[in-house]
Amino acid sequence: SIPSRTLEGKAPSKISTLAAPNIYRSFITLQWTPAEENGYEVTSHLMRYANKEDMSDAQEMVPIVVNKGGLDQCELRHLKKSAYWFQIAAFNEVGISGW
């Protein structure tokens, strides 16, 4: 026999593949590779969005996320005509991923 021990769980990994595959007049689909769970199931997401690239005017919301074809995605509807920047973070019982 060999002694072994599981690793301590930690917050999910940072989401690094955020993309907008569908952009229409008033809605956008955001899509990303799911965060690594790191020992605990991802339970929710938090989105930041802003009209400035430096995110100085960022607002936060909890998106409705679905998994399609191995990718997480959410649809944002009724957007005003403007430029937008988005960030997504994932939560598990240990904490939150980085932005």
Q: What is the pTM of this model?
A: 0.86
CB 30 within 8 Å of CB 86: yes
Instruction: Provide the pairing of β-strand 59-61 with 66-68.
Output: unpaired
Q: Tell me how crowded residue 70 is: count the other CB atoms within 10 A of its CB.
A: 7
CATH topology of domain 19-91: Immunoglobulin-like (2.60.40)
pLDDT of residue 2: 87
Domain ranges (residues) in the chain: 19-91
Q: Counting every residue, how long is the chain? A: 99
Kindly report, residue by residue over 67-76, the tens digit of the pLDDT.
999 999 999 9
Among residues 25, 13, 21, 11, which one has the least CA distance to residue 68? 21
Half-sphere exposure of 71 (CA within 13 A, CB side): 13
Kindly report, residue by residue over 41-53, the tens digit of the pLDDT.
999 999 999 999 9
CB 48 within 8 Å of CB 86: yes
